[in-house]
Structures are given as structure tokens and as C-alpha cells.
Amino acid sequence: MILFVAMSKPGEDYLQRAAESYFKYKVRFEQVSGRPGLIVRYPQVTPEFVSRYPFRAIFIGGFGYGWDEIDLPDLYGLYDVLHTTTLPVLGACGGHQLIGHAFSEDFRQVETLADEPMRQLEPGEPDWEPDYHPGWFVEKGMQPVQIIQPDPLFAGLPETVYVYQNHYCEVRQLPEEFVLLASNENCAIQAMRHRQRPIYGVQFHPEAYTNEYLHGRQVLENFFRLAERP
């Protein structure tokens, strides 16, 4: 079974969000992995919860709101999972940034987590997303990413992959326990991996592949292949 951690905004219509995107990606995970998936909102995810199910891997999704909108204690359980699990973990976009925070800060010792925007728009630079963090650069659409460190996550892929992006924040500093795997000109840390455990973060959305751009699907296939190892 695959655990899909939904980072839905506190107070939003969870069923609507599930119908619009979560179920779609759950089906994709099931198709790619050959295993059933379970969607769970992040406040419910704790080591005790994870231990009750036969999970083989954990996927942490993205979100489009600020870190200051999260009640930090709601993340304590997921923070504990990240620091104790032996399961393969893949965080995408906001999930990637969550992993970056979790291995750089003690969630129980800080009041809130801060957004880490890539950069402000230059004078005269068009704002293609005026309703999404106006005034800030947003990396959006199918974008090239350069693989700079060989890794099973990118097995069978070329040195440059095209994957879907939709973010204005990034992981600015690589956590000490992680190694850099991929980058591009907009965002230095496009992919990273824990040095000792199969915990990955990718700034892009591998689940948002299309028939024309299938590199994201290959990333998922490679990740779920890790979950099948003894």
C-alpha cells in the first residue's frame, strides 16, 4: 500500500480538492506501483498511524499556501515519521520543502516555518501569475532539470529531464544529511536524497506527467521500485 499524504489547506473543502486532484494522482500511483493507495491528511500522519498499515512507501504532496498558515503542532506527527521511518519517502514541491525544513529545524523548538521564495521579479519582468504570489518569480509548466548526481531515482532517464513545476518557494540550503541530485537555472535544489535512508525530495511534480512528457512517470516508477526492495 502507498500512503499519499495530502497537504490540504486548513479549512479548505477537502472533498473538492480530493475530487479535483488527489484521487487523480492516487489512481496514477496505483497504476505505476501496482499497489493500492490511501489518501490521508497530514495532521493524521504519525508513527503510530503508519505502523497500523502495510505501507510500502510514502508520498508527500505539494500545496499552494504559506507555511505560516499551518498550525505547526499539526506537523509534529509527520515530522516524527520522517525522522524514524525506514520506508521510502518522496516529497514533491511543498512536500520537498517540508523535508528540507524537517531536517534543518526542530519543529518543536520553533513557532512557525518561513516561506523561502526563489526571488522577486526584476523591473519590467512580466508577472505571469498575478494571482499567485504577485511580484515573485514563479517557475511553472514543463521545465528542464539537470541531473547532476546518478541515483536510482533517475535510472533510465537522460541528463536533462522535463518535469512539471508550479512553485515560488524553494529549499534554499541543502540539509546536512542530504546530497544534491538535480538542479536548474531557476532553483538550485531540484532534487535531494538523504545520505543513509531512502528519503527523497523533488521540487517538481513527477505525478503531473503527460503523454508528451513522461519523465515524471519514470521518476515515480523508479521510486516505487525502491519500495519493492526487501
Q: Please give the Cα distance from 52 to 136 (Å, whole number).
A: 42
Catalytic residue among 96, 167, 205, 215: 205
Q: Which amino acid is it at 38?
A: L
Give which of 209, 218, 219, 227 is closest to 25, Cα–Cα.
Answer: 209
Strand-pair partners of 58: 3, 89
Catalytic residue (choose from 169, 187, 207, 215): 207
Q: H helices within 67-157, ranges in order? A: 76-84, 94-102
Does residue 93 have an active-site annotation? Answer: yes
Q: Where are the alpha helices (DSSP H) in 142-229?
A: 215-227
User: Which member of 93, 101, 139, 170 is catalytic?
Assistant: 93
Angular region, 99: left φ>0, alpha ψ -120 to 50, beta rest: alpha
Residues serving a catalytic function are 93, 205, 207
